[in-house]
Chains A and B, each alone.
Chain A
Amino acid sequence: SQTIHQWPATLVQPVGSPLSLECTVEGTSNPNLYWYRQAAGRGLQLLFYSVGIGQISSEVPQNLSASRPQDRQFILSSKKLLLSDSGFYLCAWSAKGGYGGTEAFFGQGTRLTVV
């Protein structure tokens, strides 16, 4: 069966420090991968999505970047965190579309607090 791992669960970082959040998927190959952010009391904002190794699409201009060095690994990074980067970060995967549609599966999220 497929599983998605996201870590760490919580993180407190000072302003100006770097960030690296990692997400890995098991039990599938060539998935679509996604990073979302949810600010406190707000909806889910799609940050990045990837359809393959090295292929990253950015949805919003921001202080963050994403990379996909391996098929089932998705990394969210920042060189210098801002207070506004605080939020709940979620990684997700979905299979490549086909007849019948495909659902997305989410990790448990990382709660980032920038202080």
Chain B
Amino acid sequence: DAKTTQPTSMDCAEGRAANLPCNHSTISGNEYVYWYRQIHSQGPQYIIHGLKNNETNEMASLIITEDRKSSTLILPHATLRDTAVYYCIVRVAKGDYKLSFGAGTTVTVRA
């Protein structure tokens, strides 16, 4: 799987949009970008994934650059419950079953 680079931490104001960047400059054409988050003392939770088109669901939006070398996860209206570690992962859809997490970004939403 391609490696990803994320900032170690970031703060966000409650009610504002949180934009979480991720670099994946060595991504291959068949690798997807996944985002998970882990709230303290819980198992990771899937947020969203995409291949090359921007994606949106009830939790977040995923913006992938045209060259696919980076992406941004957008939490449109951050709440205190969004405080968590956010992981950006790239992996193929099938054929490689490993799912490895990096250090992630610790996001703290402040009132």
B100 to A98, Cβ gap below 8 A? no
Question: CA A94 – CA B51 in complex, angstroms?
Answer: 18
A98 contact set on B, CB distance < 8 A: 93-94
Question: CA A54 – CA B45 in complex, angstroms?
Answer: 27
Question: CA A32 – CA B104 in complex, angstroms?
Answer: 23
B93 contact set on A, CB distance < 8 A: 97-102
At the interface, yes or no: A108 with Cβ under 8 Å from chain B? yes
At the interface, yes or no: A7 with Cβ under 8 Å from chain B? no
How many Cβ-Cβ contacts under 8 Å join chain A to chain B? 63
Count how many chain A residues have C-beta atoms less than 8 Å from C-beta atoms of the other chain. 29
Known: A43-B104, A101-B32, A108-B43. 19 other contacts (CB 8 A): A32-B97, A34-B99, A43-B101, A43-B102, A43-B103, A44-B44, A46-B99, A88-B41, A92-B43, A96-B94, A97-B92, A97-B93, A97-B97, A98-B93, A101-B49, A101-B51, A104-B36, A105-B46, A107-B43
Measured CB to CB, the residues of A under 8 A from B are 32, 34, 36, 43-44, 46, 49, 51, 57, 59, 88, 90, 92, 94, 96-109, 111
